[in-house]
Amino acid sequence: MLLIVLAAVASVLFLCFLTMFSVRPTVVGFLERVFSLDSYVADKFYQSVLRDHALLYVFLAVIVFALIFLRFSLSWFTKYFDDISAGLDQLVEPSGADVVLLPELDSMERKMSKVKNTLDRQRRDAQEAEQRKNDLVMYLAHDIKTPLTSVIGYLSLLDEAPDMPAEQRAKYVSITLDKAYRLEQLIDEFFEITRFNLKSILLNKAKINLPFMLRQLADEFYPMLAPGGRRVVVEASEDLTLWGDADKLSRVFNNILKNAMAYSYEGSAIRVSAFGQGEDVVINFANQGDLIPQAKLDTIFDQFFRLDASRSTHSGGAGLGLAIAKEIVTAHGGAITVRSDREQTVFTVTLPLGSA
């Protein structure tokens, strides 16, 4: 715009210069000397070509300057559009580099870099989750093959030796049954993976007698804990009730107890305490076991996370139990946390008392 104004001013000055009487002899004399014209023809040329059309020359000059300005303006804007386009290409590239734009686009550069970082993080999380899931399926497939091979082997022995001693036959049947139960558990875990990813959590709330539920779970775990000299101790007031989905909360407590059972010392007690706290009820599950590092505590509720990297074939699960527990507790409007030190590991579930 400034160039157009300057062009207009220059053109007006040129018009004034041409129409001034004092320049007429100079222009006529120039034409006579350069083009060998007589004075009459030179004077007529000055008047008819230059002075009489001065406004047209001014208009043309303004148009020319305007076109020149428009050309440079478009180049200026095109430069920024090209830079923004390049920034969008960087935005979708799976690289850790930030988006870099011209200094004039600093604000947009920061926003695009923030979006890129978010997209990169989501992409990495999705890839890691998919990799963990693929690894888990591979591990489960391997684990399924192990008990299946045992089942086939022992059944073959029983089939090939019909006159086998009763004591030995009973032993083989017991081992085969144990392997079959393990096989059933692993197949259930395959279905669990699919259900957890595809099924939303719907709650069917009712009044729950919390102490009764916790003691019932403790009784169910007795056969599994007794061989190692472990036990579950429940401490809860008899009148403690809350509103929630009994089946799903039972699953939460069951998953936490399974984790405590797998990683507690032999001969120790898993202590479950429940008490009211304002409008909430707090349930603690404390077990004596090895210290869980902080890095693992930060991801212990992630899908397919397994605390035991060695993956015990007999006690290891799909790594979904605590992730599912967190989803159910969150659906109830509560929270689940964990802390660990050298003496004990404590899972804490906080749930609203709720109402009918």
Residue 204 has pLDDT above 70, yes or no: yes
Please say which residue of 92, 118, 150 terminates a domain.
Answer: 92
Domain enclosing residue 44, as ranges:
2-92
Please say which residue of 198, 214, 234 terminates a domain.
Answer: 198
Statement to judge: residues 63 and 157 lie in one domain: no
With 0.75 as the threshold, say if the pTM is over it. no
Dihedral in degrees, nearest 10, Cα atoms 156, 157, 159, 162:
180
Q: Domain of 172: which CATH number?
A: 1.10.287.130
Statement to judge: residues 34 and 85 lie in one domain: yes
Statement to judge: residues 158 and 289 lie in one domain: no
Q: Predicted confidence band at 19 (pLDDT cuts at 50, 70, 90)?
A: low
Task: Give percent of the chain above pLDDT 70.
Answer: 68
Statement to judge: residues 211 and 181 lie in one domain: no
- 104 assigned to some structural domain: no
Statement to judge: residues 224 and 326 lie in one domain: yes
Is the Cα torsion angle 203, 204, 207, 208 positive or negative in sign? negative
- 124 assigned to some structural domain: no
Statement to judge: residues 270 and 170 lie in one domain: no
Which range has highest mean pLDDT (22-26, 60-64, 193-197, 289-293)? 289-293
Statement to judge: residues 250 and 337 lie in one domain: yes
Statement to judge: residues 223 and 345 lie in one domain: yes
Number of domains in the chain: 3
Q: Domain of 340: which CATH number?
A: 3.30.565.10
Residue 12 has pLDDT above 70, yes or no: no
- 115 assigned to some structural domain: no
- 155 assigned to some structural domain: yes
Statement to judge: residues 226 and 342 lie in one domain: yes
Residue 95 has pLDDT above 90, yes or no: no
Cα 193 from Cα 38, distance rounded (Å):
104
- 18-32, 58-72, 291-305, 332-346: segment of lowest average pLDDT: 18-32
Give per-residue pLDDT as tens, 236-271.
988 899 999 998 898 899 889 988 888 899 999 999
